[in-house]
A = this chain, B = another copy of it.
């Protein structure tokens, strides 16, 4: 894997006409020497603290303080430094800072097999915050085999030299894994955790409330017969979402028709099957709310197969706002989780020595209205 380049399929030059230009352009834009150039490129003539200090006529320490704790430096000094910083286009060297301060963390992101949409948002959010907080992100794929043996997993993580760990779902829902991992002596944040009882920090959303909100939205539009496609039996999140759904129905004094509740497995296909069963009911619904987007998309497919137009004849709502939701036609009205922000929080939490190891945060969700939901057809 790391020797990838050497075992490469023959690299083929597509254009030859750039040969000269390339050499001429050089890399640092200056000094045309040292074709071997092992070093030039990294020395991008970055201004250092020292230079800024000299230009501003103060000591390095003062500059450092002006940057890290501005309130400790008198205003005129601070402004002088500020000007020097701008003039030299100074940017602190994060590595040196980390090294000297000894305050930067290596944070692992343990993931298993999340949707790629989830993962990319997660990484983006974490990466951004790591950068600004001076931490470093280490991705750590934890395959099924590792999950099967929590002991080994903990051992592996223990000597990976990490200072903190973020566990993404579905890993974070696994109580065994959570327990094993929280025993390694480094702070752990569980994202969208299951109901486990490990001593780890938790960041998630209020699934019940999110489902309640979406169902209310549907009811507000005029729907009275609403079906729900649940996730697998025993799944914590699915149960929460279902609870929210039922509570909204109760609130509106609508009956809960068991024929309109079907179980799925979070997959597209299971959504199709569940929708098939629901749509075959004696009194079919005008809206279907699925516990995730994949099943919602499956429900749309099944509706189409039966010649039902979405959303004119049937509304379909999803949950998660995966890329699928905005890809298909009609695009799905769904519940969006602030994944990037959750990741960002997780990083901050790990970096904050003061955080309680049993803290739990719930972030707000957002209902994304797209094309798959509309008022029910007029029965008149």
**Cβ of A65 under 8 Å from chain B:** no
Which residues of chain B have C-beta atoms less than 8 A from A356's C-beta?
A: 19, 22
**Contact segment of A9-17, A229-237, A253-261, A279-287:** A9-17
Query: Does A121 belong to the interface (CB within 8 Å)?
Result: yes
Q: A2-B132, A42-B102, A304-B304 are in contact. Are A358 and B19 (CB under 8 A)?
A: yes
The reply to whether the CB of A117 lies closer than 8 angstroms to some CB of chain B is yes
**B353-A5 in contact (CB<8A):** no
| A11 partner, pick from B15, B199, B327, B360, beta carbons under 8 A | B360
Judged by a CB distance under 8 angstroms, whether A59 is at the interface is no
**Separation of A52 and B258 alpha carbons in the complex (Å):** 67
Chain A positions 37-72 with a Cβ under 8 Å from a chain B Cβ: 37-44, 46
In Å, the complex CA distance between A371 and B195 comes to: 36
Q: Is A174 an interface residue (CB 8 A)?
A: no
A294 at the interface (CB under 8 A from B): yes
Q: CB distance A341 to B4 under 8 Å?
A: yes
- A90 and chain B: residue at smallest CB distance: B161
User: Which of B12, B102, B361 meets A8, CB within 8 Å?
Assistant: B361
Among B39, B99, B121, B327, point to the contact of A324 (Cβ < 8 A): B327
The answer to whether B5 touches A349, judged by C-beta atoms less than 8 angstroms apart, is: yes
Shortest CB distance A258–B (Å) = 26
Residue of B nearest to A103 (CB): B42
Q: Is the CB of B123 within 8 A of A13?
A: no
Q: How large is the interface on A (under 10, 10 to 19, 20 to 34, 35 or more residues)?
A: 35 or more
Docked complex: A321-374 residues within 8 A CB-CB of B: 322-324, 327-329, 341, 344-345, 348-349, 352-354, 356-364
Cβ contact within 8 Å between B121 and A199 = no
A163 to B43 CA separation, bound complex (whole angstroms): 9
Task: Let me know if B358 and A18 touch, CB within 8 A.
Answer: yes
Check if A33 is an interface residue, CB within 8 A of chain B. Answer: no
- Give Cα distance in the complex from A5 to B361, angstroms: 10
Q: How far is the CA of A104 from the CA of B95 in the complex (A)?
A: 9
Partner of A12, one of B161, B353, B360: B360
Interchain CB contact under 8 A, B116 and A364: no
Partner of A269, one of B89, B301, B329: B329
Contacts of A12 in B (CB 8 A): 360-362
In the complex, which residues of chain B have a beta carbon less than 8 angstroms from the beta carbon of A357? Answer: 18, 22, 25, 27
Select from chain B the residue with minimum beta-carbon distance to A338: B4
Distance (whole angstroms) from the CB of A173 to the closest CB of chain B: 15
Chain B hits for A352, CB < 8 A = 5
Q: Does A165 contact B (CB under 8 A)?
A: no
CB neighbours of A95 from chain B (8 A): 95, 98-99, 104, 136
Query: Can you show 11 pairs from A to B with CB atoms below 8 A apart?
Result: A11-B360, A12-B362, A13-B359, A14-B202, A18-B197, A26-B185, A91-B159, A117-B323, A120-B123, A124-B141, A298-B329
7 closest cross-chain pairs (CB), A and B: A120-B120, A18-B358, A22-B357, A29-B185, A116-B117, A269-B329, A119-B120
14 additional contacts, CB 8 Å, given A41-B187, A117-B120? Answer: A2-B129, A4-B341, A11-B361, A12-B362, A15-B358, A18-B357, A41-B353, A42-B103, A93-B99, A94-B136, A95-B98, A116-B323, A124-B139, A305-B305
